[in-house]
Chain A
Amino acid sequence: NAGVTQTPKFRVLKTGQSMTLLCAQDMNHEYMYWYRQDPGMGLRLIHYSVGEGTTAKGEVPDGYNVSRLKKQNFLLGLESAAPSQTSVYFCASSYRLAGTGRETQYFGPGTRLLVL
């Protein structure tokens, strides 16, 4: 059981380049999330998904797109990277315990992105 994995671990981009970050989970979780973590600002939600084929905007969605074509994968795309998108990106997945609403998010190890 690998849990939540993220690819790549580290990437350097030039301004204007595009890239896709991949998140995969093998726990059959319905919900998946993309966060970014910046110094002194905690984690902020970019986009999330409540199931295969569905996505929704989080707190800071501008400049990012996502897709959830398969239940186990959640992709985060940057169409035209900007220096302000230099950050550490975390993916998380979760399920909701039936009857309780209790939900715990499991996080991946993160992807460090540097945009020059």
Chain B
Amino acid sequence: GAGVSQSPRYKVAKRGQDVALRCDPISGHVSLFWYQQALGQGPEFLTYFQNEAQLDKSGLPSDRFFAERPEGSVSTLKIQRTQQEDSAVYLCASSTTPYGGSHEQFFGPGTRLTVL
């Protein structure tokens, strides 16, 4: 079956532009996570959705970052007025269950954002 997909795979933005990154989770997966992976680092948690509810946004680095999942499936991460420090790979992951446990998170290929 289809895995987690993300689009675009690559995005180049000029500083100050707004960008929108899309995540299509595996069908039926309740949980959806966004992570930010800077060059040479491990992924860092940004935000979590359980169906359409955003239950944790503690990792969002500033109020320029906004995420939504209005129908409990596709999610969009929006970054307003992009800055150079926003350059990173943005990973989306989904999971079957509404809680953590040992259940696997399935990752998408990521969107590589470069802010010039």
Q: Do A and B interact with each other, yes or no? A: no
List residues of A whose CB falls within 8 A of some B CB: none
List residues of B whose CB falls within 8 A of some A CB: none
